[in-house]
């Protein structure tokens, strides 16, 4: 191939760079990986995506010779081994650690074509506040700091936001007022000292730097490998052919509410991997054959939803709790194929836990998650295992650091810096946002708030599959309390109707696909998983699942008010109005639906159009 179609990529192999690779290939370019510093100096154009431990490398270099240095290296080795699964990655990292920084500085100082992404932008600054100050490359004046979640803005900043263009930056010319995808907890701020670099800003509580440009050196805080971001990549890769446009000024920038399409995936009785959909988690048809409901093929449907404007696509491997996902290779294939053509964030969940296979080979949850990331996932979601971890934590008040949630959010999340590898922002940026906890609660009656040790709330809507006894509505399904209470409840309800007494509900999360009730409330679970490192919560509701009667507003309000990480509302969407309702009445950051999209009852475009009409910020 001619060198004109080759892009040099500086990648540690440690994180989810696959989507950047896919985007570059999609645009018709080949990728050459940096193996030695010479590869940097010889590059025609260099892309440095925002994952990996480069900033930590700088930190390590400053500590050469100390005992701390040795300790950190040992930990780094472990980290590489787990994440890369090979010595190749390890050797690459050693090279990177020692000499890449210099080559990279020379390359940038010589004004060679460079595109930094996310962390690749932050590293150009002087330092990071986190556990610091920690020195960066120092090419741009300024300090990288954490978003402040106190003023009501959820951290991490996840989702689609538009830009305020500060100066002509050619590569942003096609963005116009479209939203671009951000996912980060740290940001650099514009100031008089770095004014000459800043090409756009974005507002999330504060105005922060969304992109910089000087000569041929570009960097963006957002992800150009996602959706309209591809135009940025395209312009960077081929600046000459595209001509210059007058950049459109984005309107006042605001984080868009996300609409997510969810695909529950499992193998049917014939052995085909299908998208299915439950009715309160029961995915079998109510026919004699009792077949698994089949609503289509995962890769095709995901591609369709991307075209229709989904802001994210989630895959839930719903039998992952019993079938080991790394044995379930079709799911990994689904991810690989989907990520080649779908340029919105992909989440995958199901079966992320420690596992010993039939041959006695042990896999850690981290290995399972890493395999999902390597196959194209941008985020992973943990269900059952997070419940076990939370129960253990509530019981012992000790963070063992060993649960899948803690381990994965350490390696792909924020705390890694503090207590595992190094104290730099590098690994923070990989993915504090990469670990979603999926909560599957079901309503259970109690008579009053003091009847159980968990948080209860008064609900405004009765349950779905109710039935009537003596003219009073009671809930048929209850997983947590004995029938006696149900009968009591009936009595209370009668009194209520007569005396105006209202009563409370409790949300009990379920594990193993909703089959087993646990003694923990959804509220407690949400609080604890936030503490244990979750970057986002996917909040389902078994009662509402597949019913099409709307989201469980009470539950979503309870949880989204309780935590400061983003909450995805799920279960029950049946009409466009349900989406505006959940965004107006709760602090959900995103709304997820499955059935209405699969059955083509409501297209994603109509949901977006409706939200826009209602004055809710969405990505169009």
Point out the residues that are catalytic: 118, 223, 225, 264, 440
Nearest CA to 314 out of 259, 353, 352 is that of 259
Nearer to ligand 1PR, 225 or 545 (CB): 545
Return the ∠ at Cα 568 (arms to 566 and 572), rounded to 5°.
160
Between the CA of residue 294 and those of 546, 584, 620, what are the distances in Å?
14, 33, 30
Shortest reach from residue 355's CB to ligand 1PR, in Å: 11
Nearer to ligand 1PR, 116 or 383 (CB): 383
- The answer to whether 355 touches 368, Cβ cutoff 8 Å, is yes
Nearer to ligand 1PR, 154 or 266 (CB): 266
CA 156 to chain centre: 10
Beta strands in 476-604 (DSSP E): 504-511, 516-517, 536-539, 567-570, 590-593
Q: What are phi and psi of 452, to 5 degrees?
A: -130, 160
- Binding track, positions 155-194, relative to ligand 1PR; x by CB under 6 A: ----------------------------------------
Nearer to ligand 1PR, 109 or 272 (CB): 272
Between the CA of residue 339 and those of 53, 90, 242, 333, 335, what are the distances in Å?
24, 26, 26, 10, 6
Sheet (strand 140-146) strand order:
134-135, 125-128, 140-146, 186-188
Shortest reach from residue 511's CB to ligand 1PR, in Å: 6
Between the CA of residue 165 and those of 169, 173, 206, what are the distances in Å?
9, 10, 15
Nearest CA to 162 out of 191, 197, 201, 199 is that of 201
- 138-176 burial, b if ≥16 CB within 10 A, otherwise e? ebbebbbbbbeeeeeebbbbbbbbbbebbeebbbbbbbb
Using the rule CB under 6 A, give the single segment among 165-173, 316-324, 421-429, 552-560 that binds ligand 1PR: 316-324
- Binding track, positions 365-404, relative to ligand 1PR; x by CB under 6 A: ----------------xxxxx-------------------
Report the 3 state secondary structure along 373-384.
HHCCCCEEEECH
Residue 281 binds to ligand 1PR (criterion: CB under 6 A): yes
Of 318, 430, 526, 604, the one binding ligand 1PR by CB under 6 A: 318
Shortest reach from residue 29's CB to ligand 1PR, in Å: 36
Residue 551 binds to ligand 1PR (criterion: CB under 6 A): no
**The CA-based dihedral angle spanning residues 222, 80, 379, 156, taken in that order and rounded to the nearest 10 degrees:** -50
Using the rule CB under 6 A, give the single segment among 149-157, 452-460, 461-469, 571-579 that binds ligand 1PR: 571-579
Residue 349 binds to ligand 1PR (criterion: CB under 6 A): yes
Nearest CA to 323 out of 273, 285, 281, 275 is that of 273
Using the rule CB under 6 A, give the single segment among 148-156, 209-217, 235-243, 343-351 that binds ligand 1PR: 343-351
Residue 298 binds to ligand 1PR (criterion: CB under 6 A): no
Of 93, 273, 366, 593, the one binding ligand 1PR by CB under 6 A: 593
Residue 513 binds to ligand 1PR (criterion: CB under 6 A): yes
Shortest reach from residue 578's CB to ligand 1PR, in Å: 9
Q: What are phi and psi of 212, to 5 degrees?
A: -130, 160
Identify the bridge partners of residue 516 per DSSP, sorted by sequence position: 511
Of 370, 428, 438, 493, the one binding ligand 1PR by CB under 6 A: 438
Residue 464 binds to ligand 1PR (criterion: CB under 6 A): no
Nearer to ligand 1PR, 55 or 352 (CB): 352
Q: Tell me the C-alpha distance between 521 and 387, whole Å.
A: 10
Of 118, 212, 352, 420, the one binding ligand 1PR by CB under 6 A: 352
Q: What are phi and psi of 264, to 5 degrees?
A: -80, 120
Neighbours of 42 (CB within 10 A): 16
Residue ranges in 89-148 that form contacts with ligand 1PR under rule CB under 6 A: none
Residue 595 binds to ligand 1PR (criterion: CB under 6 A): yes
Shortest reach from residue 351's CB to ligand 1PR, in Å: 5
Shortest reach from residue 569's CB to ligand 1PR, in Å: 10
Nearer to ligand 1PR, 209 or 382 (CB): 382
Residue 264 binds to ligand 1PR (criterion: CB under 6 A): yes
CA 232 to chain centre: 22
Residue 278 binds to ligand 1PR (criterion: CB under 6 A): yes
What is the biggest distance separating any 2 CA atoms in the chain, rounded to whole angstroms? 83
Of 262, 265, 390, 618, the one binding ligand 1PR by CB under 6 A: 262
- The answer to whether 22 touches 376, Cβ cutoff 8 Å, is yes
Shortest reach from residue 156's CB to ligand 1PR, in Å: 20
Residue 572 binds to ligand 1PR (criterion: CB under 6 A): yes
Which tokens is 99 given? 């000499």
Which residues here bind ligand 1PR, judged by CB under 6 A? Answer: 262, 264, 277-278, 281, 283, 316, 318, 320-321, 349-352, 381-385, 438, 440, 513-514, 540, 545-546, 570-573, 593-595
């Amino acid at each position: 191939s001619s060198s004109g179609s080759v892009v040099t990529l500086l990648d540690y192999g440690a994180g989810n760079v696959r989507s950047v690779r896919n985007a570059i290939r999609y645009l018709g370019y080949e990728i050459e990986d940096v193996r030695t510093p010479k590869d940097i100096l010889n590059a025609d154009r260099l892309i440095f995506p925002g994952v990996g431990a480069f900033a930590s490398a700088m930190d390590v270099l400053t500590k050469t010779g100390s005992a701390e240095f040795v300790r950190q290296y040992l930990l780094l080795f472990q980290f590489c081994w787990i994440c890369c699964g090979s010595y190749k990655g390890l050797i690459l990292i050693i090279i990177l650690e020692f000499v890449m920084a210099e080559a990279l500085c020379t390359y940038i100082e010589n004004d060679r074509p460079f595109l930094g992404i996310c962390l690749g932008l932050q590293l150009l600054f002087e330092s990071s506040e986190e556990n610091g100050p920690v020195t960066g490359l120092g090419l741009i004046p300024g300090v990288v700091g954490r978003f402040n979640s106190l003023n009501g803005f959820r951290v991490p900043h996840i989702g689609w936001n538009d830009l305020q263009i500060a100066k002509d930056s050619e590569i942003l010319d096609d963005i116009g007022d479209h939203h671009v995808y951000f996912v980060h907890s740290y940001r650099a701020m514009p100031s008089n000292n770095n004014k000459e670099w800043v090409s756009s800003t974005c507002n999330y509580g504060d105005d922060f730097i969304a992109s910089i440009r000087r000569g041929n050196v570009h960097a963006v805080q957002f992800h150009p490998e996602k959706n309209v971001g591809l135009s940025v990549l395209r312009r960077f890769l081929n600046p000459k052919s595209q001509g210059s446009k007058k950049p459109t000024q984005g309107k006042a920038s605001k984080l868009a509410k996300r609409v997510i399409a969810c695909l529950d995936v499992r193998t049917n009785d014939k052995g085909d991997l299908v998208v299915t959909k439950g009715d309160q988690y029961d995915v079998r048809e109510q026919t004699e054959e009792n077949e698994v409901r089949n609503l289509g093929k995962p890769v095709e449907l995901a591609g369709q939803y991307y075209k229709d404007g989904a802001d994210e696509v989630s895959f839930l491997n719903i039998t992952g709790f019993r079938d080991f996902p790394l044995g379930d290779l079709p799911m990994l294939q689904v991810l690989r194929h989907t990520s080649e053509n779908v340029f919105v964030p992909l989440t995958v969940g199901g079966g992320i836990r420690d596992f010993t296979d039939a041959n006695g080979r042990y896999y850690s949850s981290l290995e399972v998650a890493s395999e999902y990331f390597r196959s194209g996932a941008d985020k992973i979601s943990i269900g059952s295992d997070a419940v076990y971890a939370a129960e253990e934590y509530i019981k012992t008040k000790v963070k063992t650091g060993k649960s899948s949630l803690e381990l994965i959010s350490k390696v792909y999340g924020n705390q890694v810096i503090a207590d595992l590898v190094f104290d730099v922002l590098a690994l923070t940026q990989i993915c504090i946002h990469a670990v979603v906890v999926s909560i599957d609660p079901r309503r259970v009656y109690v008579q009053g708030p003091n009847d159980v040790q968990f948080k209860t709330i008064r609900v405004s809507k009765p349950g779905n599959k109710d039935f009537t006894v003596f003219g009073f509505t009671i809930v048929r399904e209850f997983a947590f309390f004995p029938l006696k209470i149900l009968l009591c409840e009936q009595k209370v309800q009668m009194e209520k109707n007569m005396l105006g007494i209202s009563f409370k509900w409790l949300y009990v999360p379920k594990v193993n696909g909703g089959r087993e009730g646990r003694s923990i409330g959804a509220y407690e679970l949400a609080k604890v998983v936030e503490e244990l490192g979750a970057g986002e919560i996917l909040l389902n509701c078994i009662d509402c699942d597949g019913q099409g009667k709307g989201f469980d507003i009470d539950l979503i309000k309870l949880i989204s008010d309780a935590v400061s990480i983003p909450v995805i509302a799920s279960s029950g969407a049946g009409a466009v109005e349900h989406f505006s309702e959940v965004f107006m009445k709760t602090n959900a950051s995103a709304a997820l639906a499955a059935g209405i999209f699969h059955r083509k009852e409501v297209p994603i475009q109509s949901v977006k159009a409706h939200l826009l009409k209602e004055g809710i910020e969405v990505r169009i």
